[in-house]
Structure 1
Amino acid sequence: MDRKTETSEPRKGLLIIDMQNGSFTADSRRYDPEGVVARINALAAAFRKKGLPVIFIQHDGTKLDEYIPNTHDWQLLADLNVEKQDLILAKEAHDAFYNTELETKLNELNVGELVITGSATDFCVESTVQVALSKDYDITVVEDAHTTGEKPHLSAEQIITHYNFIWGNMIPTKGRIELKTSEALIASLV
Protein backbone atom coordinates (compact mmCIF):
# COMPACT_ATOMS: atom_id res chain seq x y z
CA MET A 1 0.00 0.00 0.00
CA ASP A 2 1.47 3.34 -1.06
CA ARG A 3 0.71 6.02 1.52
CA LYS A 4 1.01 8.75 -1.16
CA THR A 5 -1.95 7.34 -3.14
CA GLU A 6 -4.25 6.82 -0.15
CA THR A 7 -7.64 8.40 -0.57
CA SER A 8 -7.47 9.98 2.88
CA GLU A 9 -4.88 12.59 3.75
CA PRO A 10 -1.71 11.03 5.25
CA ARG A 11 -1.40 11.59 8.99
CA LYS A 12 1.38 12.62 11.31
CA GLY A 13 2.95 10.03 13.57
CA LEU A 14 5.20 10.70 16.57
CA LEU A 15 8.35 8.57 16.63
CA ILE A 16 10.16 8.30 19.98
CA ILE A 17 13.51 6.59 19.49
CA ASP A 18 15.52 4.68 22.11
CA MET A 19 14.51 6.52 25.25
CA GLN A 20 15.72 3.55 27.31
CA ASN A 21 17.32 3.17 30.73
CA GLY A 22 20.62 1.92 29.32
CA SER A 23 21.21 5.22 27.52
CA PHE A 24 20.55 7.35 30.58
CA THR A 25 23.02 6.15 33.21
CA ALA A 26 25.69 7.89 35.26
CA ASP A 27 28.21 6.58 32.70
CA SER A 28 26.19 7.73 29.68
CA ARG A 29 24.75 11.09 30.66
CA ARG A 30 22.50 12.77 28.13
CA TYR A 31 21.91 16.46 27.56
CA ASP A 32 18.82 17.83 29.36
CA PRO A 33 17.17 14.43 29.94
CA GLU A 34 14.38 15.75 32.18
CA GLY A 35 13.51 18.52 29.72
CA VAL A 36 13.59 16.17 26.72
CA VAL A 37 11.34 13.64 28.49
CA ALA A 38 8.90 16.39 29.53
CA ARG A 39 8.71 17.72 25.96
CA ILE A 40 8.24 14.21 24.53
CA ASN A 41 5.46 13.54 27.05
CA ALA A 42 3.73 16.82 26.09
CA LEU A 43 4.03 15.96 22.38
CA ALA A 44 2.70 12.44 22.94
CA ALA A 45 -0.28 13.80 24.88
CA ALA A 46 -1.07 16.27 22.08
CA PHE A 47 -0.80 13.51 19.44
CA ARG A 48 -3.07 11.18 21.40
CA LYS A 49 -5.61 13.97 21.92
CA LYS A 50 -5.78 14.40 18.12
CA GLY A 51 -6.05 10.63 17.57
CA LEU A 52 -2.59 10.49 15.98
CA PRO A 53 -0.24 7.55 16.52
CA VAL A 54 2.58 7.54 19.06
CA ILE A 55 5.30 5.02 18.30
CA PHE A 56 8.09 4.06 20.68
CA ILE A 57 11.19 2.41 19.22
CA GLN A 58 13.24 0.20 21.56
CA HIS A 59 16.73 -0.89 20.67
CA ASP A 60 17.37 -4.61 21.04
CA GLY A 61 21.14 -5.01 21.21
CA THR A 62 21.13 -8.74 21.91
CA LYS A 63 23.73 -9.33 19.18
CA LEU A 64 26.13 -7.02 21.05
CA ASP A 65 25.10 -8.27 24.52
CA GLU A 66 23.44 -4.97 25.46
CA TYR A 67 19.88 -3.63 25.64
CA ILE A 68 18.65 -7.19 25.95
CA PRO A 69 14.83 -7.40 25.97
CA ASN A 70 13.19 -7.47 29.37
CA THR A 71 16.30 -6.19 31.18
CA HIS A 72 16.46 -2.88 33.04
CA ASP A 73 18.67 -1.24 30.35
CA TRP A 74 16.22 -2.21 27.59
CA GLN A 75 13.13 -0.79 29.33
CA LEU A 76 11.75 2.61 28.42
CA LEU A 77 12.45 5.40 30.91
CA ALA A 78 10.00 5.29 33.80
CA ASP A 79 9.22 9.01 33.38
CA LEU A 80 7.92 8.51 29.84
CA ASN A 81 4.15 8.35 29.60
CA VAL A 82 3.33 5.24 27.58
CA GLU A 83 -0.35 4.50 26.93
CA LYS A 84 -1.93 1.19 25.95
CA GLN A 85 -2.81 2.47 22.45
CA ASP A 86 0.83 3.40 21.70
CA LEU A 87 2.89 1.14 19.47
CA ILE A 88 6.18 -0.24 20.73
CA LEU A 89 8.51 -1.63 18.06
CA ALA A 90 11.94 -3.22 18.35
CA LYS A 91 14.98 -2.48 16.22
CA GLU A 92 18.48 -3.97 16.06
CA ALA A 93 20.38 -1.24 14.18
CA HIS A 94 20.67 2.55 14.35
CA ASP A 95 18.07 2.89 11.59
CA ALA A 96 14.55 2.31 12.95
CA PHE A 97 13.44 1.03 9.51
CA TYR A 98 16.13 -1.63 9.05
CA ASN A 99 14.58 -5.12 9.34
CA THR A 100 11.68 -3.80 11.44
CA GLU A 101 7.92 -3.53 11.13
CA LEU A 102 8.05 0.29 11.20
CA GLU A 103 7.28 1.00 7.55
CA THR A 104 4.50 -1.61 7.46
CA LYS A 105 2.90 -0.12 10.58
CA LEU A 106 3.22 3.42 9.21
CA ASN A 107 1.47 2.35 6.01
CA GLU A 108 -1.29 0.59 7.97
CA LEU A 109 -1.80 3.79 10.00
CA ASN A 110 -1.62 6.00 6.88
CA VAL A 111 1.28 7.97 8.34
CA GLY A 112 3.02 10.15 5.76
CA GLU A 113 4.71 12.59 8.12
CA LEU A 114 7.08 11.49 10.85
CA VAL A 115 7.67 13.73 13.82
CA ILE A 116 10.98 12.49 15.19
CA THR A 117 12.31 12.67 18.76
CA GLY A 118 14.56 10.56 20.97
CA SER A 119 18.11 9.43 21.59
CA ALA A 120 20.84 9.52 20.43
CA THR A 121 20.87 12.53 18.14
CA ASP A 122 24.05 11.52 16.33
CA PHE A 123 23.31 7.82 16.00
CA CYS A 124 19.77 6.39 15.94
CA VAL A 125 17.91 9.66 15.44
CA GLU A 126 20.21 10.74 12.61
CA SER A 127 20.09 7.33 10.88
CA THR A 128 16.30 7.22 11.07
CA VAL A 129 15.95 10.77 9.73
CA GLN A 130 18.19 9.97 6.75
CA VAL A 131 16.37 6.74 5.89
CA ALA A 132 12.90 8.28 6.36
CA LEU A 133 13.92 11.07 3.99
CA SER A 134 15.11 8.55 1.38
CA LYS A 135 11.74 6.79 1.72
CA ASP A 136 9.99 10.09 0.87
CA TYR A 137 8.32 10.71 4.22
CA ASP A 138 7.64 14.25 5.26
CA ILE A 139 9.77 14.77 8.36
CA THR A 140 9.62 17.16 11.25
CA VAL A 141 12.51 16.87 13.69
CA VAL A 142 11.58 18.32 17.05
CA GLU A 143 14.68 20.39 17.68
CA ASP A 144 14.34 20.42 21.48
CA ALA A 145 13.17 16.81 21.93
CA HIS A 146 16.22 14.76 20.99
CA THR A 147 19.36 14.25 23.02
CA THR A 148 22.80 12.70 23.10
CA GLY A 149 25.85 12.40 25.32
CA GLU A 150 29.22 14.12 25.43
CA LYS A 151 31.92 13.05 23.00
CA PRO A 152 35.69 13.56 23.36
CA HIS A 153 35.66 16.26 20.68
CA LEU A 154 32.20 17.91 21.11
CA SER A 155 29.76 18.64 23.89
CA ALA A 156 26.30 17.10 23.66
CA GLU A 157 24.83 20.57 23.20
CA GLN A 158 27.18 21.22 20.26
CA ILE A 159 26.22 17.91 18.66
CA ILE A 160 22.51 18.70 18.99
CA THR A 161 23.04 22.18 17.53
CA HIS A 162 25.09 20.69 14.69
CA TYR A 163 22.46 18.13 13.72
CA ASN A 164 19.64 20.66 14.00
CA PHE A 165 21.62 22.77 11.52
CA ILE A 166 22.13 19.80 9.18
CA TRP A 167 18.46 18.76 9.28
CA GLY A 168 17.35 22.37 8.81
CA ASN A 169 19.46 22.63 5.65
CA MET A 170 19.04 19.22 4.03
CA ILE A 171 17.87 18.89 0.46
CA PRO A 172 14.52 17.11 0.62
CA THR A 173 13.44 14.23 -1.59
CA LYS A 174 9.76 13.97 -2.58
CA GLY A 175 9.01 14.57 1.07
CA ARG A 176 10.10 17.58 3.07
CA ILE A 177 12.17 18.03 6.18
CA GLU A 178 11.84 20.80 8.71
CA LEU A 179 12.65 21.64 12.31
CA LYS A 180 10.16 22.83 14.89
CA THR A 181 10.27 23.34 18.61
CA SER A 182 8.00 21.15 20.69
CA GLU A 183 5.95 24.22 21.63
CA ALA A 184 5.41 25.23 18.00
CA LEU A 185 4.51 21.69 17.02
CA ILE A 186 2.00 21.30 19.83
CA ALA A 187 0.45 24.67 18.90
CA SER A 188 0.09 23.50 15.29
CA LEU A 189 -1.87 20.43 16.42
CA VAL A 190 -4.51 22.44 18.32
Structure 2
Amino acid sequence: MTISKKDKPALILIDIQKGFDDIAYWGGQRNNSKAEENASEILKFWRENNLPVFHIKHCSSNPNSLLNENNPGNEFKDLVKPIDGEVIIKKHVNSAFIGTDLKEQLDHAGITKLVIVGLTTDHCVSTTTRMAGNFHYETFLISDATATFNKKGLEGQNYAAELIHETALASLNGEFATVISTDFLLQNIS
Protein backbone atom coordinates (compact mmCIF):
# COMPACT_ATOMS: atom_id res chain seq x y z
CA MET A 1 0.00 0.00 0.00
CA THR A 2 1.36 3.35 -0.97
CA ILE A 3 -0.60 6.47 -0.29
CA SER A 4 0.95 9.87 -0.15
CA LYS A 5 -0.42 13.33 0.49
CA LYS A 6 1.52 14.39 -2.63
CA ASP A 7 -0.85 12.21 -4.70
CA LYS A 8 -3.79 14.35 -3.51
CA PRO A 9 -6.00 11.31 -2.72
CA ALA A 10 -9.68 12.17 -2.54
CA LEU A 11 -11.73 11.30 0.52
CA ILE A 12 -15.17 10.08 -0.56
CA LEU A 13 -17.72 10.16 2.29
CA ILE A 14 -20.74 8.15 1.22
CA ASP A 15 -24.22 8.75 2.63
CA ILE A 16 -23.28 9.61 6.21
CA GLN A 17 -26.79 10.92 6.78
CA LYS A 18 -29.08 11.28 9.79
CA GLY A 19 -31.65 8.86 8.40
CA PHE A 20 -29.30 5.99 9.19
CA ASP A 21 -29.66 6.72 12.92
CA ASP A 22 -33.04 4.92 12.83
CA ILE A 23 -31.67 1.40 13.23
CA ALA A 24 -35.13 -0.19 13.45
CA TYR A 25 -36.04 1.21 10.03
CA TRP A 26 -32.99 -0.41 8.43
CA GLY A 27 -33.28 -3.85 10.02
CA GLY A 28 -32.92 -3.59 13.79
CA GLN A 29 -29.21 -4.23 14.19
CA ARG A 30 -26.12 -2.32 13.10
CA ASN A 31 -22.42 -3.03 13.35
CA ASN A 32 -19.45 -0.73 13.87
CA SER A 33 -20.96 2.01 16.03
CA LYS A 34 -17.71 4.02 15.73
CA ALA A 35 -17.82 4.26 11.92
CA GLU A 36 -18.87 7.91 11.86
CA GLU A 37 -16.27 8.85 14.49
CA ASN A 38 -13.56 7.16 12.43
CA ALA A 39 -14.80 8.89 9.27
CA SER A 40 -14.71 12.19 11.16
CA GLU A 41 -11.12 11.55 12.27
CA ILE A 42 -10.09 10.88 8.67
CA LEU A 43 -12.00 13.96 7.48
CA LYS A 44 -10.14 16.08 10.06
CA PHE A 45 -6.81 14.81 8.72
CA TRP A 46 -7.88 15.52 5.12
CA ARG A 47 -8.94 19.05 6.04
CA GLU A 48 -5.72 19.73 7.98
CA ASN A 49 -3.69 18.62 4.96
CA ASN A 50 -5.82 20.46 2.39
CA LEU A 51 -6.69 17.25 0.53
CA PRO A 52 -9.77 16.90 -1.69
CA VAL A 53 -13.05 15.94 -0.02
CA PHE A 54 -16.25 14.76 -1.71
CA HIS A 55 -19.47 14.34 0.30
CA ILE A 56 -21.99 12.01 -1.31
CA LYS A 57 -25.64 12.35 -0.33
CA HIS A 58 -28.28 9.75 -1.17
CA CYS A 59 -31.51 11.46 -2.21
CA SER A 60 -34.11 8.72 -2.44
CA SER A 61 -36.92 9.18 -4.94
CA ASN A 62 -39.24 7.33 -2.52
CA PRO A 63 -41.15 10.04 -0.59
CA ASN A 64 -41.43 7.71 2.43
CA SER A 65 -37.69 7.03 2.65
CA LEU A 66 -35.77 8.59 5.51
CA LEU A 67 -33.24 9.66 2.87
CA ASN A 68 -35.73 11.56 0.70
CA GLU A 69 -34.76 15.23 0.35
CA ASN A 70 -38.02 16.31 2.01
CA ASN A 71 -37.22 14.35 5.17
CA PRO A 72 -34.82 15.46 7.94
CA GLY A 73 -32.95 12.15 7.63
CA ASN A 74 -31.53 13.37 4.33
CA GLU A 75 -29.20 15.77 6.18
CA PHE A 76 -25.54 14.94 6.75
CA LYS A 77 -24.60 13.85 10.26
CA ASP A 78 -23.01 16.63 12.28
CA LEU A 79 -19.68 14.77 12.72
CA VAL A 80 -18.96 15.00 9.00
CA LYS A 81 -21.01 18.00 7.93
CA PRO A 82 -19.47 19.65 4.84
CA ILE A 83 -17.73 22.99 5.15
CA ASP A 84 -17.34 25.70 2.52
CA GLY A 85 -15.31 24.54 -0.45
CA GLU A 86 -16.04 20.83 -0.06
CA VAL A 87 -17.87 19.17 -2.92
CA ILE A 88 -21.39 17.80 -2.32
CA ILE A 89 -22.74 15.31 -4.83
CA LYS A 90 -26.34 14.15 -4.75
CA LYS A 91 -27.14 10.70 -6.06
CA HIS A 92 -30.37 8.76 -6.57
CA VAL A 93 -28.97 5.21 -6.94
CA ASN A 94 -26.39 3.12 -5.10
CA SER A 95 -23.32 4.24 -7.03
CA ALA A 96 -21.90 7.72 -6.54
CA PHE A 97 -20.74 7.53 -10.17
CA ILE A 98 -24.14 6.98 -11.83
CA GLY A 99 -26.14 10.08 -12.71
CA THR A 100 -23.51 12.39 -11.17
CA ASP A 101 -20.37 14.18 -12.31
CA LEU A 102 -18.13 12.55 -9.69
CA LYS A 103 -15.86 10.86 -12.25
CA GLU A 104 -15.55 14.04 -14.29
CA GLN A 105 -14.62 16.07 -11.20
CA LEU A 106 -12.04 13.50 -10.09
CA ASP A 107 -10.51 13.23 -13.55
CA HIS A 108 -10.49 17.01 -14.07
CA ALA A 109 -8.57 17.38 -10.78
CA GLY A 110 -6.12 14.64 -11.81
CA ILE A 111 -7.11 12.45 -8.87
CA THR A 112 -6.11 8.79 -9.22
CA LYS A 113 -6.39 7.59 -5.60
CA LEU A 114 -9.57 7.38 -3.53
CA VAL A 115 -10.22 6.73 0.15
CA ILE A 116 -13.80 5.60 0.75
CA VAL A 117 -15.80 5.70 3.99
CA GLY A 118 -19.52 5.72 4.73
CA LEU A 119 -22.81 3.89 4.81
CA THR A 120 -23.76 1.20 4.10
CA THR A 121 -20.98 -1.29 3.46
CA ASP A 122 -22.96 -3.72 1.32
CA HIS A 123 -24.98 -1.18 -0.66
CA CYS A 124 -23.74 2.26 -1.68
CA VAL A 125 -20.20 1.82 -0.34
CA SER A 126 -19.79 -1.50 -2.15
CA THR A 127 -21.34 -0.31 -5.41
CA THR A 128 -19.26 2.88 -5.49
CA THR A 129 -16.08 0.96 -4.57
CA ARG A 130 -16.67 -1.59 -7.34
CA MET A 131 -17.12 1.15 -9.91
CA ALA A 132 -14.06 3.02 -8.62
CA GLY A 133 -12.01 -0.13 -9.13
CA ASN A 134 -13.50 -0.66 -12.59
CA PHE A 135 -12.59 2.94 -13.49
CA HIS A 136 -8.99 2.11 -12.44
CA TYR A 137 -8.78 4.42 -9.45
CA GLU A 138 -6.43 3.10 -6.78
CA THR A 139 -9.03 2.69 -4.07
CA PHE A 140 -8.67 2.27 -0.32
CA LEU A 141 -11.78 1.24 1.61
CA ILE A 142 -11.69 1.92 5.34
CA SER A 143 -13.14 -1.09 7.16
CA ASP A 144 -13.91 0.61 10.47
CA ALA A 145 -15.23 3.82 8.90
CA THR A 146 -18.03 1.89 7.20
CA ALA A 147 -21.01 0.07 8.68
CA THR A 148 -24.20 -1.73 7.74
CA PHE A 149 -27.33 -3.35 9.09
CA ASN A 150 -28.57 -6.90 9.47
CA LYS A 151 -30.39 -8.47 6.52
CA LYS A 152 -33.19 -10.98 6.12
CA GLY A 153 -32.35 -13.99 3.97
CA LEU A 154 -34.53 -15.40 1.23
CA GLU A 155 -36.18 -17.77 3.70
CA GLY A 156 -36.50 -15.23 6.50
CA GLN A 157 -33.27 -16.06 8.31
CA ASN A 158 -31.51 -13.15 10.00
CA TYR A 159 -27.96 -12.37 8.93
CA ALA A 160 -26.07 -10.31 11.50
CA ALA A 161 -24.82 -6.87 10.49
CA GLU A 162 -21.21 -7.82 11.23
CA LEU A 163 -21.45 -10.85 8.93
CA ILE A 164 -22.92 -8.71 6.13
CA HIS A 165 -20.16 -6.12 6.70
CA GLU A 166 -17.31 -8.65 6.75
CA THR A 167 -18.48 -10.52 3.65
CA ALA A 168 -18.93 -7.27 1.73
CA LEU A 169 -15.39 -6.20 2.64
CA ALA A 170 -14.01 -9.63 1.73
CA SER A 171 -15.70 -9.42 -1.68
CA LEU A 172 -14.08 -6.04 -2.40
CA ASN A 173 -10.58 -6.53 -0.98
CA GLY A 174 -7.86 -7.27 -3.48
CA GLU A 175 -10.05 -6.93 -6.55
CA PHE A 176 -11.76 -3.55 -6.36
CA ALA A 177 -9.93 -1.95 -3.42
CA THR A 178 -7.43 -2.40 -0.64
CA VAL A 179 -9.30 -2.69 2.64
CA ILE A 180 -7.51 -1.06 5.59
CA SER A 181 -8.37 0.41 9.00
CA THR A 182 -8.49 4.05 10.06
CA ASP A 183 -5.36 3.65 12.19
CA PHE A 184 -3.47 1.97 9.36
CA LEU A 185 -4.39 4.76 6.95
CA LEU A 186 -3.45 7.59 9.29
CA GLN A 187 -0.21 5.91 10.37
CA ASN A 188 0.93 5.07 6.83
CA ILE A 189 -0.06 8.07 4.73
CA SER A 190 3.14 9.96 4.03
What TM-score comes out, normalization by structure 1 length?
Answer: 0.84
2:125 is aligned with 1:125: yes
Q: How many residues are aligned here?
A: 175
2:15 is aligned with 1:18: yes
Quick one: structure 1 residues 147 and 101, their matched pair in 2 at CA, closer, same or farther if it must change by over 3 Å?
same
Helix, strand or coil at the partner of 1:183: helix
Q: Quote the Cα distance in structure 1 between the aligned partners of 2:137 and 2:14.
A: 17
Helix, strand or coil at the partner of 1:42: helix
**Superposition deviation, residue 136 in structure 1:** 0.8
- Specify the alignment match of 2:165 in structure 1: 160
State how 1:1-190 maps to structure 2 within 5 Å.
Answer: 10-27=7-24, 28=26, 29-33=29-33, 35-62=34-61, 64-65=62-63, 66=65, 67-69=67-69, 71-152=71-152, 153-170=158-175, 177-190=177-190
Q: Quote the Cα distance in structure 2 between the aligned partners of 1:181 and 1:99.
A: 30
Helix, strand or coil at the partner of 1:22: helix
**Superposition deviation, residue 74 in structure 1:** 0.6
**Superposition deviation, residue 179 in structure 1:** 1.3
**Coordinate RMSD, CA, aligned:** 1.8
Q: Quote the Cα distance in structure 2 between the aligned partners of 1:105 and 1:138.
A: 16
**Superposition deviation, residue 26 in structure 1:** 3.9
Q: Quote the Cα distance in structure 2 between the aligned partners of 1:124 and 1:44.
A: 19
What TM-score comes out, normalization by structure 2 length?
Answer: 0.84
Helix, strand or coil at the partner of 1:160: helix
Aligned identity (percent) is 22
Q: Quote the Cα distance in structure 2 between the aligned partners of 1:187 and 1:85.
A: 26
Quick one: structure 1 residues 148 and 26, their matched pair in 2 at CA, closer, same or farther if it must change by over 3 Å?
closer
State whether residues 46 and 189 of structure 1, in contact with CA within 8 Å, keep that contact through their aligned partners in structure 2.
Answer: no
Q: Quote the Cα distance in structure 1 between the aligned partners of 2:8 and 2:110.
A: 6
Quick one: structure 1 residues 154 and 127, their matched pair in 2 at CA, closer, same or farther if it must change by over 3 Å?
same
Task: Name structure 2 gaps, 5 residues minimum.
Answer: 1-5, 153-157
After TM superposition, the runs of 4+ consecutive aligned structure 1 residues lying more than 6 A away are none
